Structure 1
Amino acid sequence: MPDSYRTLAQAALAEPPKTKGSRFTGEAFPVADEAEAMARLAAVRKREHAATHHCWAYRLGPDEQGVRYSDDGEPNSSAGLPILREIEGRDLAHVLVVVTRYYGGTKLGTGGLARAYGEAAALVLEKAPKTEVVLRVPVRLQFAFADTSPAMHTLGRFDAEIAETNYTADGTEITVQVRRSQADALMAAFVEALGGRGMAEHASD
């Protein structure tokens, strides 16, 4: 299972040249979940209430789950699917793209629509800055004060961030956020480095 994904660092807007009089505007947003995606879509619909169509697609997880798209009244698969293909082609996750169309008086046909919606989506996705999000899980580590040096040395070998530190009469307890794929290896290395004296376990979020 992937432990990171590429998404957008911020929202973006782009508008390609008109196609036979029709105006297509692409907007792209980073979204945490379906609820945020639908809220973003509703805001675009409200702002651009005079538009003919608001076609959209989103992809949430880095796997193939959490995918939806809509042609919003355009011919079947002529709008939402081309938008989704642009998101998938860039391997982006947690991204919503809305392409708003103002009809220009000339029908474009299914092929022409697919190209126009795909081009608007591609343009805004190329413009939007990207970022990588690392998926982390919490791990709790406990060790005596005398074992602080080997404990911290072991921690430094992994992609881990200290989230919380507590001191007790017996030693130190820290909770770290570690890259998901490294959690089990970190716990095993920690126990080995301390000769079995420390404790390492998955912690709840």
Structure 2
Amino acid sequence: MSLFEDTYKTIAAPSEGQFKDRGSKFIAYAYPLKGEAAARELVSALKALHPKARHHCWAYRLTPDRSVFRINDDGEPSGTAGRPILNALLSADVTNVLLVVVRYFGGTLLGVPGLIHAYKAAAQDALQAADVIELTVNDVYSVAFTYEQLNEVMRIVKDEDVTVRKQDFDNRCVMELEIRQTHVGKVLGRLEKVEGIAVDFVGTA
């Protein structure tokens, strides 16, 4: 058993959901998310798509360890929109996801409990419509070797089911490999037994 978790859940593609209460319409959009800049672009795009909506509230979670999150009530009473949307993400245990709920006001005030329920219900509806997938946390390494060592390196790559992200076979061969974190020690141990090979850590996928 690993000392740490090296898998996380996210969504495969955008999805939508909605909730209605006393004339107000809450339309939820869930998106796979890579970074904070992309979140800003998606929220801006939805504001352009729904210019007459009263509020565009959102929450997101980022990184496999689920440590990065942000919420925005966009003018709704504090804690009635962004937090319930985030709670829907927490309940589904997904990360690298942006959830935006667009509200068209129906003329009747819903009150704090009503708003909290509406935003969470719309967000949950979008997540229930999503294709939730489980991914592994992977580290990326650059491996440089001679052409004569190619077969030996490729045998390790195949045996250990490692993903090749890039490769360049010139005078000296260079491959960028994506390795599941719990398998890094074993794979690098085998690679480093190949004489003259150079292995460098690139980052986390």
Cα deviation, residue 138, structure 1: 2.0
Looking at structure 2, the residues matched to 155 and 33 of structure 1 have their Cα atoms a distance apart, in angstroms, of 30
Looking at structure 2, the residues matched to 179 and 55 of structure 1 have their Cα atoms a distance apart, in angstroms, of 35
Cα deviation, residue 81, structure 1: 0.5
Q: Percent identity?
A: 32
Q: Secondary structure at the match of 1:15?
A: strand
The equivalent of 1:15 in structure 2 is: 18
The equivalent of 2:161 in structure 1 is: 159
Cα deviation, residue 127, structure 1: 0.5
Cα deviation, residue 149, structure 1: 5.0
The equivalent of 1:99 in structure 2 is: 101
Q: Please tell me the root mean square deviation across aligned C-alpha atoms, in Å.
A: 2.4
Looking at structure 2, the residues matched to 158 and 68 of structure 1 have their Cα atoms a distance apart, in angstroms, of 37
Distance 1:33-1:149 versus aligned 2 partners, 3 A rule: closer
Cα deviation, residue 152, structure 1: 3.3
- 63, 84, 94: which one aligns with 2:86: 84
Deviations along 1:138-183, one digit per CA (max 9) or x if unpaired, are 23052673x5555433332323123214254xx8554422223323
The equivalent of 2:142 in structure 1 is: 139
Q: Please list, as runs of the form range in 1=range in 2, the aligned pairs for 1:9-48 lying within 5 A after superposition.
A: 9-16=12-19, 18-48=20-50
Distance 1:38-1:200 versus aligned 2 partners, 3 A rule: same
Cα deviation, residue 32, structure 1: 1.5
Aligned residues: 198
Cα deviation, residue 84, structure 1: 0.3
Cα deviation, residue 89, structure 1: 1.7
- 115, 121, 124: which one aligns with 2:123: 121
| Range 26-35 or range 153-162, more displaced | 153-162
Which consecutive unaligned segments of at least 5 residues does structure 2 have?
none
TM-score (norm 2): 0.83
Which one has the largest radius of gyration?
Answer: 1
Given residue 33 of structure 2, which amino acid in structure 1 is its aligned partner?
A: V
| Range 171-180 or range 56-65, more displaced | 171-180
Which consecutive unaligned segments of at least 5 residues does structure 1 have?
none
The equivalent of 2:114 in structure 1 is: 112
Confirm or deny: 8 A CA contact 1:7 1:94 kept in the other structure. yes
Cα deviation, residue 125, structure 1: 0.8
Looking at structure 1, the residues matched to 185 and 198 of structure 2 have their Cα atoms a distance apart, in angstroms, of 9
Confirm or deny: 8 A CA contact 2:14 2:30 kept in the other structure. yes
Q: Secondary structure at the match of 2:21?
A: coil
Distance 1:175-1:97 versus aligned 2 partners, 3 A rule: closer
The equivalent of 1:189 in structure 2 is: 190
Looking at structure 2, the residues matched to 175 and 31 of structure 1 have their Cα atoms a distance apart, in angstroms, of 23
The equivalent of 2:180 in structure 1 is: 179
1:58 aligns with 2:56: no
Looking at structure 1, the residues matched to 139 and 110 of structure 2 have their Cα atoms a distance apart, in angstroms, of 46
Confirm or deny: 8 A CA contact 2:18 2:123 kept in the other structure. no
